Amino acid sequence: MVFDDFVGRAGLTSAMATFNLKLPPPFDEAVKSMEREIMRFLMRSTGDREDAKDLFQETWLRAYRAYPTLKSEDGLRPWVFRIASNLCRNRVRDRMRRARVITTASANGAALPESASSPIGGGPDGVLHLKRSIARLPGKQGQALMMRKFAGLEYAEIGAALNCSVESARANVSQALRKLKADE
């Protein structure tokens, strides 16, 4: 039968590829292939176990909802890191905003809630300062820096995640580092 010849020649699993029809891997496989990397990245970015676990779950849920928009396996890694780094930055910014509210309240003589005394992210002051500085960086610079320093992504992957060129990714990281240095 013609069908068997076709399978023998092309191999059915590559038949879609011969028509340029690509699918990313099944979602559960994508999670398995990247879960350790993403957890490490989140731990380094937040410095807090509970935060990292929470953001880990949120990252994968968002990834699942948006999975139909991912074209192929090639873009998977930068795409997931982009989601994770966005969530990290938003988390740090939210905490900074709340810290400002608490600081204002204390200056006005209001009683501070217990949680106000616990540092954001639970790390030493230096780490806290670094996270705040990173959160203050403009969008792509902050994300590029986090992906490079906390996840070890190559510039090409950072470019894919941020939808910019490799040169732009490199420039964003070095500009971010310069600004952090100026902040010290």
Partner 1 sequence: MINEARIGIARDLQLIRRPEARVGVIPSPVGRLLVAESNRGLATIHFLTMDGAERTLEKLRKKFDLIENEASTRRVGAEIDRLFKGDMSVLEHRVDLSVVESEFQRRALISLRTVPPGAVITYQGLAAAVGHPNSQRAIGTTMATNPVPIFVPCHRVIKSDGSIGNYGGGVANKLKLLRAEGFDVGRDLRLPPRAVMGHRKTRIFCRPECSAAKRADSSRTVYFADAQSAAHAGLRACKLCRPT
Give the residues lining the site for partner 1 (CB under 8 A).
1-3, 6-7, 12-13, 15-16, 18-21, 23, 26-27, 31, 35-36, 39, 49, 52-53, 56-57, 60-61, 64-65, 67-68
Q: How far is the CB of 65 from partner 1 (least distance, A)?
A: 7
Q: How far is the CB of 86 from partner 1 (least distance, A)?
A: 18
Nearer Cβ to partner 1 (61/110): 61
CA dihedral sign of residues 158, 161, 164, 166: positive
Instruction: Calculate helix-pair angle for 139-150, 166-183, nearest 10 degrees.
Output: 90
Rounded-to-integer distance, Cα 48 and Cα 122, Å: 6
Question: Which phi and psi angles does 136 have, rounded to 5°?
Answer: -80, -15
Q: How far is the CB of 72 from partner 1 (least distance, A)?
A: 11
Centroid of chain to Cα 9: 41
CA dihedral sign of residues 40, 42, 44, 48: negative
Nearer Cβ to partner 1 (68/109): 68
Q: How far is the CB of 177 from partner 1 (least distance, A)?
A: 30
**Half-sphere exposure of 151 toward its Cβ, with a 13 Å CA cutoff?**
32
Rounded-to-integer distance, Cα 8 and Cα 146, Å: 47
Instruction: Give the tokens for residue 96.
Output: 């900074």
Nearer Cβ to partner 1 (65/181): 65
Nearer Cβ to partner 1 (56/81): 56
Q: How far is the CB of 120 from partner 1 (least distance, A)?
A: 20
Nearer Cβ to partner 1 (53/129): 53
